[in-house]
Amino acid sequence: MIRALTNARIFDGFTWHDNSALLIDGGKVADILAMSELSPGTEQINTDGAIIVPGFIDLQVNGGGGVMLNDDQSVEGIRQICAAHAKFGTTSLLPTLITDTREITAAAIKAGLDAKVAGVPGFLGLHLEGPHLSVARKGTHHPALIRPMDDADLQSLLTIGNSFDALMITVAPENTTKEQVRALADSGFIVSLGHTNASYETAKAYAEAGARAVTHLFNAMSPLENRTPGLVGAALNTGSLFAGIIADGFHVHPASMGAALRAKRGPGKIFLVTDAMSTIGTDLTGLTLNGRQIYRKDGRLTLSDGTLAGADIDMLSSVLFAHQILGLDFEEAVRMATLYPAEAAGVEHYKGQLKAGHDADFVILNDHYSVKGTWINGKPIFTT
């Protein structure tokens, strides 16, 4: 049965539709119509003049709701992470495993496969951030767990390449070969370069081998300098590369974010990621990762030495940062959390916009941009 969310201002990802209705048929978008065009017999849900935008897509989520994937590799753990972020408008996410042991990695993959079978709302796939990174750019990753990718690692990964709607892996050229990257990309992985001191030339070569993205632009990577553009320069100057960025005001200065957005060569875009930890949706004062204490204070998460350890921000707050602090049009800020990550993940043909035939994933906002409701596959997952 077709249902209509009525009396709304709807942004479909490209265009605003005023005083309109969003039609849902099962779990899909059927149409967007002016109120005057609505059939009299259609079941209606009055939104009282709310704003409706496509659901947010987050390709880097370490945890939420008190759960870290590194600590809880279970369907219920993934369900709790997804539910915590749904309260802030995220309708699709990649639970992200920070560098860990072979056993924890295998358990996380199994949990992801089980979560897909269980149809956990909001679960899109997995992001394996490590362990094949550079110790020199380790960030919060435990150096004792970082290692080169060997043949056994590669073969294990190749068996799951097409098992999820989206599957991302962050690697450093220091601990992977171009041949391994090519094999992973060919098997369905979104290969992202990160936590690396790779040169501009090396990063370009890995992009040519199949790397598609860059993990948390500016952070834990070789910087853009006058004679050595580094991975930052490669990300901005290579059209095929997408790049995630953390918009919390701590990981990247707003001026640097603005410069990057103006400089980015397409078709690859810069998209928002939260890099969120278990603190999202809770009043936790900290957490542990690989046996180390992480402290939460004033919107920051840090190790005892001050190293940033993930982020304490949700996707709606990231969108509003891009709009209100960076000065982007609201529509473009929304696209950075919807269409662009959908394109980076290769799911733009059914997610990231409110178009007939696309998944009915959307966020209902009030005039102050607070979440009134989050719908996934045509069902209300969270309402206030």
Give the residue among 123, 147, 124, 237 at the shortest CA–CA distance from 195. 147
At 65-83, the pLDDT tens digits run 999 999 999 999 999 999 9
pLDDT digits (tens, 9 = 90+) for 121-143: 999 999 999 999 999 999 999 99
* Residue-level pLDDT at 142: 95
103 is in an annotated binding site: no
| Residue-level pLDDT at 40 | 86
Q: Which tens digit of pLDDT belongs to each residue from 252-311?
A: 999 999 999 999 999 999 999 999 999 999 999 999 988 899 999 999 999 999 999 999
pLDDT over 90 at 205, yes or no = yes
| Nearest C-alpha neighbor of 77 from the set 117, 100, 111 | 111
CB 287 within 8 A of CB 279: yes
Beta-carbon-side half-sphere exposure of residue 303 (alpha carbons within 13 Å): 13
The residues annotated as belonging to the active site are: 275
Q: How confident is the model at residue 204 (pLDDT cuts 50, 70, 90)?
A: very high
Establish whether 79 is an annotated binding residue. Answer: no
State in words which class domain 2-54+354-383 has: mainly beta
Identify the pLDDT of residue 133: 98
pLDDT tops 90 at residue 1: no
User: Does the CA dihedral 215-155-57-147 come out positive or negative?
Assistant: negative
* Residue 310 labelled as part of a binding site: yes
pLDDT higher for 196 or 36? 196
**Residue range 361-381: mean pLDDT, rounded:** 97
| All structural domains of the chain with their residue ranges | 2-54+354-383, 56-345
Q: What percent of the chain clears pLDDT 90, i.e. is strictly above it?
A: 97
Ligand-binding annotation for 337, yes or no, is no
184 contacts 210 by C-beta, under 8 angstroms: yes
pLDDT given for residue 41 in this prediction: 85
**Class for the domain spanning 56-345:** alpha beta
Q: Which residues have a Cβ under 8 Å from the Cβ of 140 and sit 6 or more positions away?
A: 98, 289, 294, 303, 307, 308, 309, 310
Q: pLDDT tens across 98-117, in order? A: 999 999 999 999 999 999 99
Contact 355, 13 (CB under 8 A): yes
Q: Matching CATH topology for 2-54+354-383 and 56-345?
A: no
DSSP state, 165?
S
Coil, helix or strand for 58?
strand
Query: Is 55 assigned to a binding site?
Result: no
Tell me the pLDDT tens digit for each residue of 159-200: 999 999 999 999 999 999 999 999 999 999 999 999 999 999
Residue 309 labeled ligand binder: yes
CA dihedral sign, ordered 143, 148, 153, 157:
positive
Residue 219 counted as an annotated binding residue: yes
Rounded mean pLDDT of the chain?
A: 97
User: Does the annotation list 358 as a binding residue?
Assistant: no
Record the pTM: 0.97
Residue 181: predicted pLDDT: 98
